[in-house]
Amino acid sequence: MARPSALPAEEKTRIVLSILAGEITVAEAARRVKVSEQSVGTWKRQFLEAGRAGLAAGKSGPSTREQQLQAEVADLTHALGEAAVEIWVWKRSTEGRLGPSRTSR
Based on the fold, state whether residues 42 and 68 are members of the same structural domain: no
Rounded-to-integer distance, Cα 105 and Cα 103, Å: 6
Based on the fold, state whether residues 38 and 76 are members of the same structural domain: no
pLDDT digits (tens, 9 = 90+) for 18-44: 999 999 999 999 999 999 999 999 999
Based on the fold, state whether residues 11 and 46 are members of the same structural domain: yes
Which alpha helices (DSSP H) does 1-105 contain, by range?
9-20, 26-33, 37-60, 64-94
Do residues 3 and 34 make contact, with C-beta atoms less than 8 angstroms apart?
no
Domain that holds residue 16: 7-61
Tell which residue, 28, 3, 1, has the closest CA to residue 16.
Answer: 28
Based on the fold, state whether residues 33 and 47 are members of the same structural domain: yes
With respect to residue 78, please indicate whether it lies within any of the assigned structural domains.
Answer: yes
pLDDT digits (tens, 9 = 90+) for 40-67: 999 999 999 988 877 776 666 677 888 8
pTM of the entire structure?
A: 0.51
Do residues 21 and 28 make contact, with C-beta atoms less than 8 angstroms apart?
no
With respect to residue 103, please indicate whether it lies within any of the assigned structural domains.
Answer: no
The pLDDT of residue 99 is 59
Domain count of the fold of the chain:
2
Neighbouring C-beta atoms of residue 16, cutoff 10 Å: 20
pLDDT digits (tens, 9 = 90+) for 78-99: 999 999 999 999 988 887 665 5
